[in-house]
Amino acid sequence: MALRTCDEPQQTGPGIWVRRLKAAEMVHVTVFSAAMQGVWIHWNGNSSEPCHSPIKECPGHKRGLPSKQRFYIHCFNHAKRREEFIELPAGCAADVREYYPKGSNMRGVRLQLKRGNGQKAHLTVEILPPISETVSGPLPQAKDVHETLCQLWHLDPKVHQWNKETELPIPKLAS
């Protein structure tokens, strides 16, 4: 019997990494997305699951799982030198929304995101001066997180459509 060989590593999982910052992690990114994309998720104690509409038919709601909002930005991670989707909890997304209200274009914005010590520590965002496409050249086309999330959750993107007409409201946090 012959040994199977290969020239390139086989890609598993989604084509673009979804980064959920870990304890004490910090990343510096340049945003390719025009806006954040929001989705409701359930946390099953081990991983996230999609929250489906209508709620009465949602498997996560039927099992009594808590639901949360998560927001995604397609960006370039400067340390890893690759494109990623950054996952933001609702509170962090609200901080970003203060600087970039609904309808604002975030393309070219640079962000520094940092999670405190501990997995449930607050995620903070620092808005840095945007880059100029006239100086740096054109940014890559922004990608939609829908296909990547469907791959992660083993869903058919043609069946589980992303409702782009509605945008999740980002909660206003008390000052």
- Bridging pattern class, strands 37-43 and 48-50: antiparallel
Contact (Cβ atoms closer than 8 angstroms) between residue 40 and residue 51: yes
How confident is the model at residue 53, as a pLDDT? 84
Contact between 121 and 91 (Cβ < 8 Å)? no
Return d(Cα 79, Cα 167) in angstroms, integer. 31
pLDDT of residue 135: 64
Written as six digits, the tokens of 161 are 């459509």
Nearest one of 21, 140, 133 to 79, comparing CA atoms: 21
d(CA 165, CA 37) in angstroms, rounded, equals 11
Q: What is the pLDDT of residue 165?
A: 47
Using an 8 Å Cβ cutoff, are 151 and 83 in contact? Answer: no
The per-residue pLDDT string of the chain (175 residues; one tens digit each, 9 = 90 and over) reads 778 777 776 666 667 899 999 999 999 999 999 999 999 999 999 989 999 888 899 999 999 999 999 999 999 999 999 999 999 999 999 999 999 998 899 999 999 999 999 878 999 999 998 877 656 678 899 999 988 998 888 888 888 777 654 444 444 444 4
What's the rounded Cα separation, in Å, for the pair 168 and 38? Answer: 6
The full set of domains in the chain, from first to last, is 17-152 (2.40.50)
pLDDT of residue 161: 76
Residue 26's pLDDT is what? 96
Adjacent-strand bridge partners of 128: 110
